[in-house]
Structure 1
Amino acid sequence: MKVEVWSDIACPFCYIGKRKFEQALEQFPHKDQVELVFKSFQLDPNAPKQYDESMDEMLAHKYGISVEQARGMNEQVSAQAHEVGLDYHLDTAVMTNTLDAHRVSHYADTKGKSKEMMERLLSAYFTESKHVGDHDVLASLAAEVGLDADEVKQMLAGDEYEEQVIGDQQEGANLGVQAVPFFVLNRKYAVRGAQPVEAFLGALNQVWEEENPKTKLDVLGPDGAACTDDSCSL
Structure 2
Amino acid sequence: MTIDIWSDVACPYCYIGKRHLEAALARFPNSETVTINWRSFELDPNAPVKSPGDLYDVLSHKYRMPRSQAQQMTQSVENMGRSVGIDFDFAKAVPVNTLAAHRLIHLAAKNGLQDRAKELLLKAYFTEGKDLSDLSTLVSLGEAIGLDAALVESTLQSDAFIEDVRNDEEQAYELGVQGVPFFVFDQKYALRGAQPVEAFVQTLEAVWEKTQAAVLENGEACDVDGCD
Give the alignment's TM-score, normalised by structure 1: 0.90
Name 1:152's counterpart in structure 2. Answer: 152
User: 1:213, CA displacement in angstroms?
Assistant: 2.5
Aligned pairs for 1:3-152 within 5 A: 3-152=3-152
Task: From the superposition, tell whether residues 157 and 214 of structure 1 become closer, same or farther in structure 2 (CA, over 3 Å).
Answer: closer
Contact 2:45–2:99 (CA under 8 A) maintained in structure 1? yes
C-alpha separation between the residues in 2 aligned to 1:32 and 1:54? Answer: 41
SS at match of 2:91: helix
C-alpha separation between the residues in 1 aligned to 2:103 and 2:151? Answer: 13
Structure 1: give runs of 5+ residues left out of the alignment. Answer: 217-234
Give the alignment's TM-score, normalised by structure 2: 0.92
Q: Of the two, which has the highest radius of gyration?
A: 1
C-alpha separation between the residues in 2 aligned to 1:117 and 1:214? Answer: 34
C-alpha separation between the residues in 1 aligned to 2:184 and 2:50? Answer: 33
Query: 162-171 or 48-57: which moved more?
Result: 48-57
C-alpha separation between the residues in 2 aligned to 1:138 and 1:215? Answer: 43
Name 2:221's counterpart in structure 1. Answer: none
SS at match of 2:61: helix
Once the two structures are superposed, residues 190-214 of structure 1 have per-residue CA deviations (whole angstroms, 9 ceiling, x without a partner) of 0000000000110000000111129
Runs of 4+ in structure 1 displaced over 4 angstroms?
A: none
Structure 2: give runs of 5+ residues left out of the alignment. Answer: 217-228
SS at match of 1:179: coil
C-alpha separation between the residues in 2 aligned to 1:188 and 1:51? Answer: 37
Amino acid at match of 1:61: H
Amino acid at match of 2:119: E
Does 2:139 align with 1:164?
Answer: no
**CA-atom RMSD in angstroms:** 1.4
Aligned pairs for 1:194-209 within 5 A: 194-209=194-209
C-alpha separation between the residues in 2 aligned to 1:67 and 1:165? Answer: 32
Name 2:173's counterpart in structure 1. Answer: 173
Task: From the superposition, tell whether residues 7 and 214 of structure 1 become closer, same or farther in structure 2 (CA, over 3 Å).
Answer: closer
C-alpha separation between the residues in 2 aligned to 1:62 and 1:42? Answer: 16
